[in-house]
Structure 1
Amino acid sequence: MNDTVRISKTTSENPDFVNLIAALDKSLWERYPELKTNYWGNNILELNPNVIVVYLHEKPVACGCFKKYDKNAIEIKRMFVSPEVRGMGLAQTILLELEGWAHDLGYSFSVLETLYKQKEAIALYQKTGYTIVDNYEPYVGLENSICMRKQI
């Protein structure tokens, strides 16, 4: 990373994060209009103290966060990189930052869910050590979901 990229640890109340999440939701509903009713409840933005926003030339361009899944694991949520800056390695940077943060807080595992059409995301997660596992709650029985896990 060069000096034009800044990584900020923040909360879900950060207006830049809120705007990036709105762009993420818009892109998901455009790509998966048939799934909106099944997944909307899993994407409610609750107060979260474990958020990362990435700035490029001081413009917010990417984000991610995690929440506690159980006593040993966190769940990666709301990963998004603006289309105009994809391919720069920002998603991997966010993922590694979130995993390190969770590890520092005492967590041993990370889980996540993505959708089957998210080929780039699935490839990124596998490249960084995630393996596909049986769907966990609340994704059990949802055939469009791909659930993954990694020791951190």
Structure 2
Amino acid sequence: MEDQIKIIRTTSENHDFVSLVSALDKSLWEAYPELKSNYWGNNIIELNPNVVIVYLDDVAVACSCFKKYDRNTIEIKRMFVSVDNRGKRLAQLMLRELESWAKELGFTVSVLETLYKQEAAIRMYQKAAYVITENYGPYVGLKNSICMQKQI
């Protein structure tokens, strides 16, 4: 039997989002203990009205969000799929939902930052037509960051 997939739009106050982000932070600090002091400030999500959560059979298994970067641009943040649910194209579903939502709000460009060891994520973003660009904003000068962008 195939999993029932449901994607919802919500806010950063959603308890499932908070739990998934906690799991994301734990996984990042385990993979990149040396970067914690450099990146912690960039990963704090203030109240955010643009969150998506993926549910498989009514269990929250993936999340992401975007925030306004400038007048035309959103920044994708906190993209996470639980370990047991990777390889099911859930990140692609979330990315399409976020881009669609951003377009509805009048944005035309999406940017994001990921870390160099996140090879599967980088490949997924490239398949979704994101291209590597110069580091922007808080990531300028951070050699471990890979910044990407796409017209949406």
Give the TM-score normalised by the residue count of structure 1. 0.98
Give the distance between the partners of 1:52 and 1:132, measured in 2 at CA.
24
Give the distance between the partners of 2:133 and 2:3, measured in 1 at CA.
38
State the 1:3 CA deviation. 6.8
Q: In structure 1, what is the equivalent of residue 14 of structure 2?
A: 14
Q: In structure 2, what is the equivalent of residue 86 of structure 1?
A: 86
Q: In structure 2, what is the equivalent of residue 53 of structure 1?
A: 53
Q: How many correspondences in the alignment?
A: 151
Deviations 1:98-143 (A, max 9, x none): 0000001000000000000000000000000000000001000000
- Which residues of structure 1 form unaligned runs of 5+? none
Matches within 5 A, 1:56-135: 56-135=56-135
Q: In structure 1, what is the equivalent of residue 142 of structure 2?
A: 142
2:139 match: secondary structure: coil
User: For the aligned residues, what is the CA RMSD?
Assistant: 0.8
State the 1:45 CA deviation. 2.1
1:41 match: secondary structure: helix
Deviations 1:29-49 (A, max 9, x none): 000000000000001121000
- C-alpha change, 1:97 and 1:46, in structure 2 (3 Å) is same
1:138 match: secondary structure: helix
Q: In structure 2, what is the equivalent of residue 31 of structure 1?
A: 31
Give the distance between the partners of 2:125 and 2:62, measured in 1 at CA.
16
Give the distance between the partners of 2:99 and 2:18, measured in 1 at CA.
21
What letter corresponds to residue 101 of structure 2 in structure 1? W
- Which residues of structure 2 form unaligned runs of 5+? none
2:22 match: secondary structure: helix
Give the distance between the partners of 2:44 and 2:110, measured in 1 at CA.
20
Q: Where in structure 1 do 4 or more consecutive aligned residues deviate above 4 Å?
A: none
Give the TM-score normalised by the residue count of structure 2. 0.98
